Structure 1
Amino acid sequence: MSGDGMKAVRIHRFGDDSVLTVENVPIPRPGPGDVLVRVHAAAVNPVDSLVRRGLVAVSDRPLPWIPGWDFAGSVVAVGSEAMGWSVGDVVYGRPSLARDGSYAQYLAVDAGEIAAVPRTVPLESAAAVPLVTLTAWKALFDLGGLEAGKTVLIHAGAGGVGTMAVQLARHRGAKVVATASGDGIELARSLGADEVIDYRGEDFAARGRFADVVLDTVGGETLERSYRVVVPGGSLVTIAGAPDEDRAEGLGISVHTFVLDSNGSRLAEIAALIDADELRPVVSHVLDLDDVAEAHRLIDSGRTRGKIVLRVR
């Protein structure tokens, strides 16, 4: 870890993918409660693009920032108060958005925000898991109250959050209806969706009130039409828009949005589900860290299946 530092991607200003610059920067120093991780892979999420464009404020620190909030790697140093971890442990996590992220060779992360990686998948696949799976879990179960026998509608069932939400809902014993298009229809089916609505040819809202829980990852018109399909007493959870509390109250439903917390203990549960073959990460592209701009172009297209991962050499 000595020498000239590490390779990392930083943004010095907000804007399009051209603001992502690959640089040599100092290796972060872990605090007392941190571990220092040698990053093997970092996943790309839509929130990374929102941060890059300045549309989501995640920190009041001055620029430049290192983006990226999904990773898998090996512990190379342990802070004096970081319990439970040793040098050589292979871990994954979704670190705090308020700190420099994972588009780098090394990452300092709070010891409570990580878990041992699932043993049955490559590190590139493990890196794709934390943010989307924690998001799906919190939306479906903590806020949506999804239980066995209930019906859930998951929008964009072939996307990053959607692919994990379909599998989690299936594992919980719910009836899973997803929206998708093109080859995403078969992907969502293969992950356990009981029914897939091709949103290009069918208006899901024409079905009336059929879903106990709706998970909206799309926003806009999709969110607006989703209120009408939730049964009385059901829940609409969106990660892509502002809830209309008055409209929800008028329909007798609850509506939620949230900011995701890091959660190491839940990641341990998720790793166990992956190793038990109950969940499988879906990775559509693995690119090198130097190709970060291309990764952001893909994420900005809104048409990717599953996750995009950066391999950190």
Structure 2
Amino acid sequence: MKCIQYSRFGAASEVLSLSEIPTPDPAPGEVLVELTHSGVNPSDVKARSGARPGVTKPPFDQIIPHSDGAGRIVAVGDGVANARIGEQVWIWNGQWQRPFGTASTHICLPSNQAVPLPDGISSETGAVLGIPGLTAAHAVFGGGDISGQTLLIQGGAGTVGLLAVQLAKLGGAKVIATARGDGLVEAEKAGADVVLNYADPDLSQHILAANGDAPVSRIIEVEFGLNISTDADVIAPNGTIAAYGSAKEMAPTLPFGPLLFKAVKVDILLIYLLPKGQRDVAIAKLHDALTANALSCPIAQTFSLAQTAAAHDAVEAGNRAGAVLVEVQS
């Protein structure tokens, strides 16, 4: 099988190489998936570049990157029903704590990590469901029913943000999103009731005004460290800040007093570690939305397998209107 590998940290163009290695056979409980697309996420880029705190070398001698992908099951190991052969599936945690991920023509992994795609849903969409999709679904619905609530989605024009806007609207919430530049239009197209410029110095006041001067019930947060003061201003008593990122400020200073006297719950999400019951709920929410034609997964750029380094560069550059994919069979 063809794949992209790296054995040391560094710039994508310097450490990622196109290789050919034997196609593995599925072990007991595993499936072999012939992939069509691999999703490239910021976490993949950080892992390859060595940007994770305290990590000085790759955890395995050779790594095939990426955790998200989609394709077709072509073989099964002992204990997996032969009926699964031929299923179109999407992948979660493809390279989480494992050496070989989805930047490859094939992947072997536990059967439950290959989720059947709903009928009529493309592999391109499937390759976005792992990290962005599950993060958005759990961030929106992880606290239960949101019908009639107001949700603030910080970074509503990112891949997770655009999915979260759509899911929150489908769940019956009023949605206030923040974005900037072209993202203001994209978040509005996704269904946000109000879209505000996150760089506005009076953002807190505008958020409250957009909600009839009432605080918001739940905040989906992409930049926890930068936005925590604003979030503390606008969150309702007993509200929840569901934070899935804080890349620009990894050691934030918390306004503990305002958070304390509102009894705010800070829910830090790492989708790789989501317990099975919560993951099953998130998967069901995604599939229901896709089946109802109520969820569009935006794709910003698609690259060939040989262009994976350029795909990493595109993710690192930011300012994307959607996901970055690698078409692994090309």
Give the TM-score of the pair, scaled to structure 2: 0.85
Amino acid at match of 1:78: V
Give the match's secondary structure for 2:84: coil
CA contact (8 A) 1:34 1:109 kept: yes
Q: How many residues align?
A: 306
Residues of 1 paired with 2:29 and 2:154: CA distance?
A: 38
Q: Report the counterpart of residue 279 of structure 1 in structure 2.
A: 295
Kindly provide the amino acid, as one letter, of the partner of residue 110 in structure 2: D
The 2-side partners of 1:87 and 1:245 are apart by 53
Matched residue SS, 1:48:
helix
Matched, 1:110 2:78: no
Choose from 234, 247, 268 the match for 1:257.
268
Q: 1:266 to 1:219 in 2, by over 3 A?
A: closer
TM, length-normalised to structure 1: 0.89
- Change beyond 3 A, Cα 1:156–1:88: same
Q: 1:212 to 1:268 in 2, by over 3 A?
A: closer
Q: Does 1:238 align with 2:243?
A: yes
CA distance in 2, matches of 1:32, 1:153: 44
Residue of structure 2 aligned with 1:72, choices 70, 73, 80: 70
> Could you tell me which residue of structure 1 aligns to residue 222 of structure 2?
217
The residue that corresponds to 1:188 in the other structure is 187
Q: Is the Cα–Cα contact under 8 Å of residues 141 and 282 in structure 2 kept in the other structure?
A: no
Equivalent position amino acid for 1:185 in 2: L
Question: What are the Cα deviations for residues 162-198 of structure 1, in whole angstroms up to 9, with x where unaligned?
Answer: 1111111101101101111222112111111001112
**Which residue matches 1:167?**
166
**Residue range with higher mean Cα deviation, 75-84 or 36-45:** 75-84
How do 1:1-313 and structure 2 match up within 5 A?
6-18=1-13, 19-56=15-52, 61-83=59-81, 85-96=83-94, 97-99=96-98, 100-142=100-142, 144-145=143-144, 147-201=146-200, 203-207=202-206, 210-241=215-246, 244=254, 246=256, 248-260=259-271, 261=274, 263=279, 266-267=282-283, 269-313=285-329
What whole-Å deviation, never above 9, does each CA across 1:242-293 have from its counterpart, x for those lacking one? 6859453344211011321374674355234212111111111111111111
2:70 counterpart letter in structure 1: A
RMSD across aligned positions (CA):
2.4
**Conservation of the 8 A alpha-carbon contact between 2:76 and 2:82:** no
Give me the whole-angstrom Cα distance separating, in 1, the residues matched to 2:74 and 2:284.
20
Q: Secondary structure at the match of 2:300?
A: strand
Unaligned runs of at least 5 residues, structure 2: 209-213
Check the 8 A contact 1:214/1:236 in 2, yes or no.
Answer: yes
* AA aligned opposite 2:328: V
Does the CA contact (< 8 Å) of 2:138 and 2:282 recur in 1?
A: no
Q: Is the 8 A contact 1:115 1:264 kept in 2?
A: no
Give the share of equivalent positions with the same residue, in percent.
Answer: 30
Q: What is the rounded CA distance, in whole Å, between the counterparts of 2:256 and 2:18 in structure 1?
A: 46
Letter in 2 for 1:252: A
Q: Which residue of 1 aligns with 2:211?
A: none
Deviations 1:191-238 (A, max 9, x none): 110011122345422345722111111243124432222111101111
Provide the secondary structure at the position in 2 that maps to 1:13: coil
Q: What letter matches 1:191 in structure 2?
A: A
**How much has 1:120 moved relative to structure 2?**
2.9
Q: Is the 8 A contact 1:93 1:264 kept in 2?
A: no
